Amino acid sequence: MKEKEFKSLIIFENDNYFAFNKPSGITVLADRSGEKGLLEIAKTIYPTAQACHRIDKETSGVLLFAKSPDAYREASLQFQNREVKKIYHAIVNGKADFSNFREASSLSNDNKGAFVDKHGKASVTEFSTLEIFKYHTLIECRPETGRMHQIRVHLAINGFPIIADSLYGGQPFFLSDIKKKFNLGKYEDERPLISRVALHAFGLIFKDLDGSIITAEAPMPKDLAAGLSQLRKNNN
């Protein structure tokens, strides 16, 4: 990612912090493949930048960076003390009717992913339904803790895995699933409308160094927005 492209994805900035609309498919830190992580790219623009938290490689959305050690320390304490409000949007398989539903199954993880474990770490997510479609649902997710794959597992154990999340039972999303008169060319293979885990970090609410409240929101990326458009268009 080039500097110009990186700067175009900054959705909030002041003297202490900047929030970035992370694309899907990019890690926060450099991985074993040798590909640069977002923090490494950020440091070419802001040498003292630090990532205040992480989100999964496939997940898109708000990622907060601090510009100074003091700002990083303050944000880290807020995340640690569960004072930061995190809002995610997920498109799931199935028709889910949640209204401030609270899932509190404890989680552990291994090299395959995360799983429910009564002896695991406390994990809490609150879910509310935003839109219900014929076979899918758009859900707002508000995690109070920050465990690995927390939202993905908490949705899956309630019977609503995230679209394309094959690790936890999510199914691909094809236009032929929802469009009544769908025609594919004789020698064509249908491709899924959404080809990655349909989870987006929509918003963060936290305090600046002076105590003022900052709200950073990331627009839905093109792939998820296109999928939602088709769900709304073919919802009858």
SS3 97: coil
Q: Could you tell me which residues come within 8 angstroms of residue 2 by beta carbon, excluding any fewer than 6 positions away?
A: none
Concatenating the DSSP letter of every residue in 193-223 gives SB-S--EEEEEEEEE-TTS-EEEEE-PPPHH
Q: For the chain, what percentages of helix, strand and coil (3-state, to nearest 5) are there?
A: 20, 30, 45
Q: Cα separation of 62 and 142, whole Å?
A: 14
Active site residues: 56
- Whose tokens are 């409000």? That residue is 85
Query: In Å, how far are 33, 38, 52, 168 from 42, measured between CA atoms?
Result: 19, 6, 13, 32
- What phi and psi, each to the nearest 5 degrees, are found at residue 69? -60, -40
Say if residues 141 and 96 touch (Cβ distance below 8 Å): no
Q: Cα separation of 155 and 105, whole Å?
A: 11
Which residues, listed in sequence order, are joined to residue 107 by a DSSP beta bridge? 116, 121
